[in-house]
Amino acid sequence: MREVEDDHGPVDVLINNAGYGHEGVLEESPLEDMRRQFDVNVVGAVAVAKAFLPRFRERRRGFIVNVTSMGGMITMPGIAYYCGSKFALQGISGVMRAEMAPFGVHVTTLCPGSFRTDWAGRSMVRTERSIADYDALFDPIRAARKAKSGHQLGDPEKLAAAVLTLIDSDNPPPQLLLGSDAVELVSRRIEALKKEIEAWKAISLSTDG
Q: Could you tell me the residue ranges of all domains in the chain?
A: 2-205
CA distance 29 to 33: 7
Mean pLDDT across the chain, nearest whole number? 96
Answer for the pair 174, 111: CB distance below 8 angstroms, yes or no: no
Assign 66 a pLDDT band (cuts: 50, 70, 90): very high
Answer for the pair 46, 92: CB distance below 8 angstroms, yes or no: yes
Answer for the pair 80, 95: CB distance below 8 angstroms, yes or no: no
Q: Give the catalytic positions in this structure.
A: 82
Answer for the pair 87, 72: CB distance below 8 angstroms, yes or no: yes
* The predicted structure's pLDDT at residue 142: 95
Residue 155's φ and ψ, nearest 5 degrees, are: -100, 115
* The predicted structure's pLDDT at residue 2: 87
Please check the confidence at residue 148 and state whether its pLDDT lies above 90: no
| Fold observed for domain 2-205 | Rossmann fold (3.40.50)
* The predicted structure's pLDDT at residue 133: 98
Look at the alpha carbons of 23, 28, 32, 35 in this order and tell me if their dihedral is positive or negative: positive
Name the nearest CA neighbour of 112 among 152, 170, 63, 146. 152
Q: Amino acid letter at 202?
A: A
Q: Give the tens place of pLDDT for each residue, 90-103.
A: 999 999 999 999 99
Mean pLDDT score, 57-85:
97
* The predicted structure's pLDDT at residue 195: 98
Please check the confidence at residue 129 and state whether its pLDDT lies above 90: yes
Phi-psi category of residue 104: left, alpha or beta, with phi > 0 → left and psi -120 to 50 → alpha: left
With vertex at residue 33, the alpha carbon angle to CA 30 and CA 35, rounded to the nearest 5 degrees, is 115
Most confident range (mean pLDDT) of 104-113, 118-127, 149-158 is 104-113
What pTM value is reported for the model?
Answer: 0.94
